Chain A
């Protein structure tokens, strides 16, 4: 159980981490990074699975099912898109060949 003030500490520290990580990013990585962070909130899948696992009535199960479906889409789609983008970032070897 995460209690009130401890929760606030976690929230604040995590917020600082997010700021720190992004603040020194070159512009060329903005889109991949947005996509990457889009993947990371795909962790909602874990919560969706727990919600579905706790569901009792038909309505709860239906909504829980939708939650898992959407969350899996977020996680998988976010991963593949980010991976495809970053796959294309090559180092400068090629440039030296060209020169």
Chain B
């Protein structure tokens, strides 16, 4: 039986890699997750026949039913706009599971030092490391989830925070070394796990909302690594391979995201965004000029080329369906409409794409920053809906601005700019947006969905 189970694990690991590969292309993406899902189901069933399992089947099925059932219901009913925090919480669960596996194994070793011999020294070290990483991923993801879900204040800072964090992780590592080299007592284990959990939470606490996707992606990579480490402890090839693939893919994804935001990973982790420039609100010349939604709609109806720049505001207003309705009307009139998506628009790279796809926008109407940035000068109207920092020309012009250097969409170069915005506040970074003050910019205030609805009505009257 053991041989068959091993073979199933091998096939699972291969299928995961193929599935991930398929997921990296839009046309095959959906089949990719199906492949991976089938592999996971088969591996789970095969595990019931794993020779090292000596019972507890009822407990096992009960836990699967409860955990899986709650997660299923949660994932089914969540709005697409709330996806980022769902990814965070499910990721945290994975990290927590890896840490819990480590806890069980370490307790067993502590009770029966003979087991350390069979496990081998390397497995013990990796197990401890996996426990540390898993705990950090768990508590960090929970904090990230709480913040994104609005259950917690945006950020939390105090003096010498970094030193406190450093002290926590240093002591945690010290206890980890004690656990890996000696026969630890319960006190040592408890302190180790508590410190590791504390460090994860401390790591996520000061991170501002804009950097959240980066940190979630990082915790995702952490969980992958933790799973791989526990795979070594349990001698499980599927866990080792799948965990490592996710660990490295997640690390690369984290770097891509940080790069898209023109932020170094180190500054995401150790510095606070725009922490200093609270006093320096640059004065902007000119004023914002409001206009009616109906005027904006008519302006677009008579344009040749319209580019739409969505941002987090669109997600909040759930305006994506209305926008697609409007785009369909415009294309019927022969207007060339394109969507321009900044890599960090929304709360996660690709967040806007997901929302637009939900509304039915075909993905080949959606363009990346590099693909479309030269087209803005040819656009008659650029419609900015709920985006702010990603179109702020200050990023190119003002070296003192915290946004300086971030690649932006050149919305300011189009002939006319319409900005749909709820109020007069500034973006996530708190930086005043100079685009809003340009002569050819008109502001349309109001709820995104309502405003676009009025635009649609005005286009229909033509």
| A→B interface (CB under 8 Å) | 1-2, 4, 7, 10-11, 14-19, 21-57, 59-61, 63-95, 98-99
Contacts and interface: CB of A to CB of B under 8 A. Distances in A.
A39 to B, nearest CB: 6
A77 B64 CA distance: 12
B40 A31 contact: no
A29 B357 contact: no
Interface of B: 9, 12, 16-17, 19-21, 23-27, 29-30, 32-34, 36-37, 40, 43-44, 47-48, 50, 52-56, 59-60, 62-72, 74-76, 78, 80, 83-84, 86-87, 89-91, 93-94, 96-98, 100-101, 103-105, 107-108, 111, 122, 216-217, 220, 223-224, 227-228, 230-232, 234-250, 252-253, 256-257, 260, 328, 331-332, 341, 343, 348-351, 353-354, 357-358, 360, 362-366, 368
Given A2-B232, A26-B368, A38 B91 contact: yes
Given A15-B248, A95-B362, A2 B68 contact: no
Contact of B94 (A30, A63, A70): A70
B26 A68 contact: no
Contacts of A35: 83, 87
A25 to B, nearest CB: 4
A54 B54 contact: yes
A1 to B, nearest CB: 6
Given A41-B227, A51-B100, 15 more contacts: A18-B248, A27-B260, A29-B350, A38-B91, A39-B90, A41-B243, A49-B53, A50-B50, A54-B108, A61-B59, A64-B59, A66-B63, A81-B83, A82-B23, A91-B26
A19 to B, nearest CB: 5
Nearest to A93: B362
Interface of A is mostly: helix
A40 B224 CA distance: 8
A3 B23 CA distance: 32
A52 B26 CA distance: 38
B240 to A, nearest CB: 6
Contacts of B240: 2, 7, 10-11, 14
Q: 4 tightest CB-CB pairs across the interface, nearest first?
A: A53-B53, A18-B248, A77-B71, A72-B67
B40 A85 contact: no
16 contacts: A15-B248, A21-B20, A28-B26, A36-B19, A38-B90, A42-B90, A48-B100, A51-B104, A66-B63, A70-B67, A71-B97, A72-B63, A76-B68, A77-B89, A79-B40, A90-B360
B97 A53 contact: no
A19 B224 CA distance: 13
